[in-house]
Structure 1
Amino acid sequence: MGYDVHITRKQHWADEEEAATISLAEWLAYVAADPEMRLDNHAEAPVGDTGTTPGVESQGLSVWLPYSKNGRAGNYAWFAHEGDRVTVKNPDEEILGKMLTIAHALGARVQGTDGEYYDEVAPLFANPASSSTGTWADAGLRNFQTFASAGAAEPLLQALAEAGIPYHTTFDTGQVAFDPSFANNQLTSNFTVQLALVDFERGTQLLNKLNQHALSQIDPDHYLFRFTDEELMDIVVKPDEWSALDVALAGQLLRKRGRDVSPDTLQLLRQRRVAELAQPDQDHKSLVRSGYLSAMLGGIIGIVVGYQLYTSRKQLPTGQRVYAYSPTDRVHGIRIMVLGICVFILVMAARLIRLMED
Structure 2
Amino acid sequence: MQENQFITYQKFTVKDEVEEFSKFLEENNIEFEFEDNSISFDPTFANNDFGKIYFIKLKKADFEKVDKIQNEISINLSENIDKDHYLNDFTDDELIEVIVKSEEWSKLNFSLAQKILKQRGKEITSDQLKELKRQRIEELAKPEQSQKAWIIAGYIFSVLGGFIGIFIGKHLFSHKKTLPNGETVFAHTKSERNHGNRIFILGIICFISWTLVRIISIE
Q: What's the TM-score bracket when you normalise by the shorter of the two chains? A: 0.7 to 0.9
- Which residue in 2 is equivalent to 1:200? 63
Aligned twin of 1:259: 122
> Alignment RMSD, CA only?
2.9
Q: 1:328 matched to which residue of 2? A: 191
Residue of structure 1 equivalent to 2:173: 310
Structure 2 contact 173–192 (Cα < 8 Å) conserved: yes
- Alignment partners' CA distance in 1, 2:173 and 2:71: 37
Give the number of the structure whose residues are more often helix, by fraction.
2
- The answer to whether the 8 A contact 1:176-1:186 is kept is no
Q: Deviations over 1:134-185 (max 9, x none)?
A: x227732322364745368647734x4444322334556549999xxx9x99
Structure 1: distance between partners of 2:53 and 2:175: 23
1:140 equivalent in structure 2: 6
- Asked if 1:240 is matched to 2:94, the reply is no
* Counterpart residue number, 1:115: none
Identity between Structure 1 and Structure 2 (%)? 32
Could you give the per-residue CA deviations for residues 294-322 of structure 1, whole angstroms, max 9, x where no partner exists? 11122422111111111111121112221
CA distance in 2, matches of 1:243, 1:266: 16
2:176, 2:48 → 1: CA distance?
29
- Corresponding residue number in structure 2 for 1:150: 16
Q: Is 1:287–2:127 an aligned residue pair?
A: no
Amino acid at match of 2:7: L
CA spacing shift, 1:232–1:156, aligned 2, 3 Å: farther
> Secondary structure of 2:80's match?
coil
- Larger Rg over CA atoms: 1
Instruction: Return 5+ residue gaps in structure 2 as ranges.
Output: none
Distance 1:342 1:192 in 2: 35
1:141-220 alignment, distance < 5 Å: 141-144=7-10, 146=12, 148-150=14-16, 154=20, 157-158=23-24, 160-170=25-35, 174=39, 186-188=48-50, 189=52, 192-220=55-83
CA distance in 1 between partners of 2:16 and 2:95 (Å): 27
Moved more, 249-258 or 297-306: 297-306
Q: Which of 125, 137, 140 is the equivalent residue of 1:274?
A: 137
Residue deviations 1:82-104 (CA, integer Å, cap 9, x gap):
xxxxxxxxxxxxxxxxxxxxxxx
In 2, Cα distance between equivalents of 1:274 and 1:228:
24
Gaps of 5+ in 1: 1-134
Higher relative contact order (CA closer than 8 Å, sequence separation 6+):
2
| Distance in 2 separating the partners of 1:137 and 1:311 | 20
TM-score (norm 2): 0.86
**Displacement of 1:191:** 5.7
Matched residues in 2 for 1:147 and 1:213: separation?
Answer: 25
Q: How does 1:69-84 map to 2 (within 5 A)?
A: none
TM-score, normalised relative to structure 1: 0.54
Counterpart-to-counterpart distance in 2, 1:155 and 1:348: 49
Name the residue aligned to 1:227.
90
CA distance in 2 between partners of 1:171 and 1:351 (Å): 39
Work out the CA distance in 2 between the residues paired with 1:156 and 1:259: 35
Distance 1:297 1:155 in 2: 46
Which aligned pairs between 1:88-127 and structure 2 lie closer than 5 A?
none
